[in-house]
Amino acid sequence: MTTSSTYHGAFLTVGMLVTGTLNTLLTKLQDKQCVGNCSDPDPSKREYFEQPVWQTLNMFYGEMLCLLCFYLFSKRSNQVENRDEYEPIVDQDEVNEQIAQDVPTTDGLPVVESGSEPVSELKPVVGWAALLMWIPAACDLLGTTLMNVGLFFTTASVYQMLRGAVVIFSGLFSVLFLGHRLERFQIISIMMVVVGVTIVGLSNVISPAPHSYNTKDGENSEAVDADLWKATLGVSLVLGAQIFTASQFVVEEKILRRYHLTPLRAVGLEGSFGALSVMIAIPILHFAIGRTHPGGYFDAPGGFRQIIDNPSVWQTSIYIMLSIAFFNYFGLSVTRYLSATSRATIDTCRTLFIWMSSLALGWESFNWIQVVGFVVLVYGTFVYNRVLKLPF
């Protein structure tokens, strides 16, 4: 490997790690922004930004930027071809292999065997065929919204660790719907992930992080019980959301087995269809639920005012949107120039950086139970992704 290639790989790795870490931390930071009664001396009476639907829309806007990048790169490529008056030679089989491994998501995907058809037999995604990407976009919408709500009640590190449970459901669904056959080491690794996720979840329930921005000093037993209930709810929502995320993976792979679709364009299409779906759902949810629950998750005018009237909220929205776009770009580039396994490894490592950052920011306290769960979870994930081998 040349020096330039080494620097390029390091740049992509650092870029994916930094943008992925910032994405989760910025989302948690946005949750902590006070949007009402901020001058009240009683913290429990202050209102904080809790708008999961608007945050989901923000995520899809970030993915839409990938579609813009796709068209810009395509235009540049065409200009180079026209200028040089020759057709560049591209190893289409290699490209297809990368596409099959690199299913478009906002997070790293566990490495699975693809079994795709040769590129020459794949159909182009034109016309109505592009609407197929609306299906995984709908799964992404449901999963992301549930995770956004779950993040209100969990710490950033626990939230990120629990997302590792997607390995469990993606492995199961790949067998049921894609005809994959899990090998012995994959079955064992999934069992390890189950154990790790369970330990992490219990650590958050047994020792829930105090919602210091929502309570007063000297909490009574009722406040502690409320924190316990919120911690349990947060864990349940994040874990439940992985069912939709795993469904998204399965549908994406199903589509990419039949159609020739570059990952960058796939991410952009999902973002476009997802954003359109959210914009349609916002007024419907407002009139169905939001009007009778002012200030709640589905109060569309209230959520919009909170964004517009608070610079800290709309500014973090822009940063989150950009972090998502760059995270997807770096992730796709890592898979293309390094490997899908490298992407999965980096994505697992960013959980550690999120945890370290949360501790440094004082958002959570150190928990040895969480350490044990994290180690088991990471080891199981690495074995599943063939980064490590079982000693037996």
Q: 209-248 burial, b for 16+ CB within 10 Å, e for fewer?
A: bebeebbeeebeeebeebbeebbbbbbbbbbebbbbbbbb
Q: What integer pLDDT is reported at residue 97 of this predicted model?
A: 43
Span of 23-32, 129-138, 330-339 with lowest mean pLDDT = 330-339
35-49, 211-225, 269-283: lowest mean pLDDT where? 211-225
Query: What Å distances lie between residue 100 and 42, 66, 103, 380, CA to CA?
Result: 53, 18, 6, 23
> Per-residue confidence at 83, pLDDT binned at 50, 70, 90?
low
Q: According to the model, what pLDDT value does residue 117 have?
A: 55
φ/ψ region of 179 (left if φ > 0, alpha if ψ in -120 to 50, else beta) reads left
Percent share of the chain, pLDDT over 90: 50
| Whole-angstrom distance, CA of residue 82 vs CA of residue 351 | 44
The answer for 294, left when phi > 0, alpha when psi is -120 to 50, beta otherwise, is: beta
Write down the pLDDT at residue 261.
83
Q: Residue 76: CB partners within 8 Å, gap ≥ 6? A: none
Which carries the bigger pLDDT value, residue 233 or residue 256?
A: 233
- State yes or no: pLDDT of 100 exceeds 50: no
* pLDDT higher than 90, residue 115: no
Q: What angle do CA 380, 244, 268 make, to 5 degrees?
A: 100
Beta-bridge mates of residue 47: 36
Quick one: pLDDT at residue 119?
Answer: 57
| Residue predicted with more confidence, 215 or 99 | 215
Per-residue confidence at 113, pLDDT binned at 50, 70, 90? very low
State yes or no: pLDDT of 286 exceeds 80: yes
What pTM value is reported for the model? 0.84
Confidence (pLDDT) at 1: 54
Question: Radius of gyration (Cα) for the chain, nearest Å?
Answer: 22
Mean pLDDT over each residue of the chain, to the nearest integer = 83
For residues 248 and 140, give the distance between their C-alpha atoms in angstroms, rounded to a whole number: 6
Q: Residue 84's pLDDT is what?
A: 55
The strand ranges marked E within the chain are: 34-36, 47-48, 123-124, 259-260
DSSP assigned state of 48: E
Of 306 and 92, more confident: 306
Residue 332 has pLDDT above 90, yes or no: no
Tell me the pairing of strands 259-260 and 123-124.
parallel
| Structure confidence by residue, pLDDT tens digits, 159-187 | 999 999 998 998 899 899 888 888 999 99
CA 154, 160, 161, 162 torsion: positive or negative?
positive
Q: 179: helix, coil or strand?
A: coil
Please tell me which residue, 201 or 331, carries the higher pLDDT value.
201
- Quick check: helix, strand or coil at residue 66? helix
Q: Is residue 109 predicted with pLDDT exceeding 60?
A: no
Q: How confident is the model at residue 92 (pLDDT cuts 50, 70, 90)?
A: very low
Tens digit of each residue's pLDDT (9 = 90 or more) over 4-18:
777 888 898 899 999
User: Is pLDDT above 50 for 103?
Assistant: no
Distance CA 384, CA 339 (A): 15
